[in-house]
Amino acid sequence: MSKIKIPKSVLGLRMSLKKFAKKNGIKITKKMKKREKRRTIKKLNSEYAEFAINGLNKAVKIMSENPEMKKIDKVKDGVDNIITNPIVMKRIAKIYKKDSAAYGNMIFLPYMIMNTLLYYKSDNISDEEKKVGESLDQESLITFCEKILKKEIKRYKKKGLDKVAAFQLATVIPTAKLFKNNNRMWYKRLILAMYDMAKEETVDVDMTVKSILALDKKKQISKKEFLNGFFSEFILQKNTNKNAKMTDGQKQLSEDLTERALVYMDNLKASKLSDMLRKYIKRRKTAEAYKNDAKRVIKFTDHANSNSPYMTIKKVVTNLIADNAQNELYLS
């Protein structure tokens, strides 16, 4: 795996306003007159915001391309440091409004903002973190997200999604470019977003897929590649006790995704399906090695019996078990 080179401007996002002032020779003293002090504070906030938006524009790109790497924790900490500073975020919003084209990677920021808001709403945080949460201007942050994703939301709505669903999906998937190189984490995040959307409304799987594939002006991923990555990740979803707490909408989504996964897989060539299930088995074995394996959403052996309408699945599952009896453990 290649090393990630993190620019100094990105690492610098962890700097506090005080440290930034010291580094850049901006002094605010008690001896200053009120007008001079106000002017200096304004200059400091302005320069810090300019520095922050340039760093953010690079940071969110790094995070979008390497969502699973631990090394980017430093990057994430810097982004969180800026997001949780209401004064700086207001200034960043103004800078972005004047010249949004200069900050093209900012479409990845709303995902971080919405997750930050969600984190500070949770019960399992410290009293100090609760104070940070209370200081956040939630309304302004969401409005800023809507401004950043104006085009993406419009495109999702054009494909049939309502305003709420379009915003939810745009914050997670602002471009299909995220799925390039079979980036599993983004498929996983998409699936989680769909279940989150299904809490309140019906999620049309086909419409969602079509809207993502048509999201960018220039095609970023083929339908064939997307569906392979999407369903390869879906079949790895765990069938846990949480499933029993699903809303009716989420249960319907689960049924729809399962049905479409089976149809998709059954329509593959036997060799392609065999490759797909071998990778599935390999990932389950890896999870087992880390004592993290569990039942998955589809029990493939149930679709390999004599009454199964899925002939390709039946043939491939039977062959995989005949090839190695241990495979039945992972396909059950």
Is 57 within the bounds of a domain? Answer: yes
Task: Report the 10 Å Cβ neighbour count for 33.
Answer: 8
State which H helix or E strand residue 245 sits in: none
Q: Is the pLDDT of residue 2 over 90?
A: no
Least confident among 148-162, 238-252, 315-329: 238-252
Considering the entire predicted model, what is its pTM? 0.92
- Report if residue 77 sits inside a domain: yes
Residue 296 lies in a domain: no
State the burial class of residue 20 (Cβ atoms within 10 Å of its Cβ: 0-12, 13-18, 19+): middle
Residue 51 lies in a domain: yes
Tokens 């950043």, residue located: 148
pLDDT score recorded for residue 230: 97
**Structure token pair of residue 25:** 């020779």
Looking at the structure of the chain, the number of domains it has is: 1
- Provide the 8-state DSSP code for 25: T
Residue 1: is its pLDDT beyond 80? Answer: no
Half-sphere exposure of 172 (CA within 13 A, CB side): 20
Q: CA-CA distance, 268 to 276, in Å (whole number)?
A: 10
Secondary structure class of 296 (helix, strand, coil): strand
Q: Give mean pLDDT, residues 13-28.
A: 93
At residue 296, φ and ψ (nearest 5 deg) are -105, 175
Q: Across all residues in the chain, what is the average pLDDT?
A: 93
Highest mean pLDDT among 21-35, 165-179, 240-254: 165-179
Categorize the per-residue pLDDT at 17 as very low, low, confident or very high, splitting at 50, 70 and 90: very high
Q: Judge whether 295 lies within some domain.
A: no
* Residue numbers of the domain that contains 118: 1-148
Determine, yes or no, domain membership for 22.
yes
- Is 105 part of any domain? yes
* pLDDT tens figures, 68-110: 777 788 899 999 999 999 999 999 999 999 999 999 999 999 9
Is residue 266 included in any domain, yes or no? no
- Kindly report, residue by residue over 149-192, the tens digit of the pLDDT: 999 999 999 999 999 999 999 999 999 999 987 789 999 999 99
What's the pLDDT at 30? Answer: 86
